[in-house]
């Protein structure tokens, strides 16, 4: 009873508009982390993914999908000590008769410290951060879809 009075609500399953029941994902890079995770999550939500745009009732267009890192700080010897990993996407969703979601830009970032004596471990940490960023991006996109 206390939880309901504070505005907390348990998040339910993803609800998609009826127009998105058969969706085509249009992308230039079908091997990107975001594309692969989006496919998995849409399938889990019960969305039927079409192989071509003509077979679909909606098109999820990914215009831009990039991940990279930049140096945040360096030591006195000019050696990087901290990096920022980022993942940026730009997308829109079109229904059969109208645009369901206008073009959106999303960027998520995470920082990590770098130690040149732990190169292999830091490379794995960077990869795990990228995977976490993708999961965050997909979660944000699915939340936007559920509000349509």
State how far the Cα of 90 lies from the Cα of 119, in Å rounded to an integer.
32
Query: What's residue 114's pLDDT?
Result: 87
The confidence band for 14, taking pLDDT boundaries of 50, 70 and 90, is confident
Nearest to 65 by CA among 43, 39, 99, 46: 39
> Look-up: residue for tokens 């039927």?
48
Higher pLDDT, 5 or 58: 58
Tens of pLDDT, residues 91-145: 999 998 899 999 999 999 999 998 878 877 888 889 999 999 999 999 999 999 9
Q: Residue 7 corresponds to which tokens in the numbers above?
A: 């505005």
With a cut of 80, say whether residue 6 has pLDDT above it.
no
Give the model's confidence band at 33: pLDDT under 50 very low, under 70 low, under 90 confident, else very high. very high
Domain boundary assignment for the chain: 16-146
Residue 120 is predicted with a pLDDT of 79
Contact 122, 115 (CB under 8 A): yes
Segment 38-88, tens digit of pLDDT: 999 999 999 999 999 999 999 999 999 999 999 999 999 998 999 999 999
pLDDT at 16: 84
CB 73, CB 81: distance < 8 Å = yes
At the topology level, CATH places domain 16-146 in Double Stranded RNA Binding Domain (3.30.160)
- Helix pair 33-44, 119-146: axis angle to 10 deg: 40
Taking the model in full, what pTM does it have? 0.86
Predicted local distance difference test score (pLDDT) of residue 90: 98
């Amino acid at each position: 009873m206390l939880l309901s009075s504070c505005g907390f609500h348990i998040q339910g399953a993803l609800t998609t508009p009826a127009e998105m029941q058969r969706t085509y994902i249009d992308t230039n890079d079908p091997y990107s982390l975001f594309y692969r995770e989006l496919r998995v999550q849409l399938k889990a939500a019960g969305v039927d993914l079409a192989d071509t745009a003509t077979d679909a009732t909606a098109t999820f267009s990914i215009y831009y999908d990039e991940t990279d890192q930049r140096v945040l700080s360096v030591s006195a010897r000019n050696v990087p000590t901290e990096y920022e990993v980022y993942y940026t996407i730009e997308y829109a969703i079109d229904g059969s008769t109208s645009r369901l979601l206008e073009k959106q830009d999303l960027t998520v970032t995470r920082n990590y410290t770098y130690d040149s004596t732990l190169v292999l471990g830091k490379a794995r940490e960077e990869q795990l951060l990228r995977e976490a960023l993708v999961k965050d991006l997909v979660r944000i996109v699915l939340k936007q879809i559920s509000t349509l």
